[in-house]
């Protein structure tokens, strides 16, 4: 019986060691699992922070692009308006050139006096927005002095005027 008691005691000790080893293994496994869960949570949090940063940068880029698009759209609209205004101005100036050319051709055809030709040119300048008082005295002065003085006078009136593009119209009108 002593031998049985000794075997029982030894088995109890071994069983106790096995149970202790199991408990330590369970604690170690539990600790490893907790560590793994914490590490995974930290990695997910870090990935979420990085993704949030990327998202914020993309939103900032999107907003900057929208602002740039708005500026570009306004610039485009401004340029379209300017183009429209320039087209109107060009059309008006073409009418002036045509009227001045017509007046000059009429003078050559009918051999009317320079006063009549100057009156036609004066009308062209008035249509272009010049004040009659600015142009008429100079044209009247040149009326009796011939075609060459007409060209010179028209050129000097246009050069003093606030619309420098009328110089081309005058040159074309007097070139005929």
State residue 141's pLDDT score: 54
Count of domains forming the chain? 1
pLDDT value for 8? 87
| pLDDT on residue 90 | 85
- With beta carbons less than 8 A apart as the criterion, state whether 119 and 127 touch: no
- So what's the pLDDT on residue 125? 66
Q: What are the C-alpha distances in Å from 14 to residues 5, 17, 21?
A: 14, 5, 10
In contact, 116 and 107? CB cutoff 8 Å: yes
CB-based contacts of 95, cutoff 8 Å, min separation 6 = 127
User: Could you give the C-alpha distances from 44 to 38, 50, 56, 57, 163, in angstroms and in order?
Assistant: 10, 10, 18, 20, 71
**Nearest 5 degrees, angle CA 10-CA 16-CA 19?**
145
Query: Angle 166-175/147-160 helices, nearest 10 degrees?
Result: 170
Residue 99 CB neighbour total at 10 angstroms: 19
> How many CB atoms are closer than 10 A to CB 57?
10
C-alpha distances in angstroms, 84 versus 70, 88, 129, 162, 166? Answer: 21, 6, 19, 21, 19
Give the pLDDT confidence score for residue 107 in this predicted structure: 62
Tokens at 10, concatenated: 């030894």
146 SS3 class = coil
Distance separating alpha carbons of residues 41 and 164, to the nearest angstrom: 76
Low-confidence ranges of the chain (pLDDT < 70): 100, 103-104, 106-176
Which pLDDT does position 57 carry in this prediction?
97
* Domain containing residue 115: 2-175
The per-residue pLDDT for 118 is: 63
pTM of the model: 0.41
């Amino acid at each position: 019986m002593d031998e049985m008691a000794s075997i029982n005691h030894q088995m109890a000790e071994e069983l106790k060691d096995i149970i202790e080893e199991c408990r330590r293994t369970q604690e170690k496994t539990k600790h490893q699992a907790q560590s793994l869960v914490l590490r995974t949570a930290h990695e997910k949090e870090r990935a979420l922070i990085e993704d949030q940063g990327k998202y914020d940068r993309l939103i900032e880029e999107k907003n900057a692009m929208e602002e740039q698009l708005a500026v570009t759209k306004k610039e485009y609209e401004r340029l379209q308006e300017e183009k429209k205004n320039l087209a109107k101005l060009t059309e008006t100036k073409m009418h002036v050139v045509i009227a001045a050319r017509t007046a000059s051709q009429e003078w050559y055809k009918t051999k009317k006096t320079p006063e009549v030709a100057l009156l036609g040119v004066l009308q062209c300048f008035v249509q272009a927005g010049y004040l009659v008082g600015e142009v008429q005295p100079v044209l009247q002065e040149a009326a009796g002095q011939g075609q060459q003085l007409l060209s010179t006078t028209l050129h000097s009136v246009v050069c003093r005027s606030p619309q420098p593009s009328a110089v081309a119209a005058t040159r074309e009108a007097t070139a005929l």
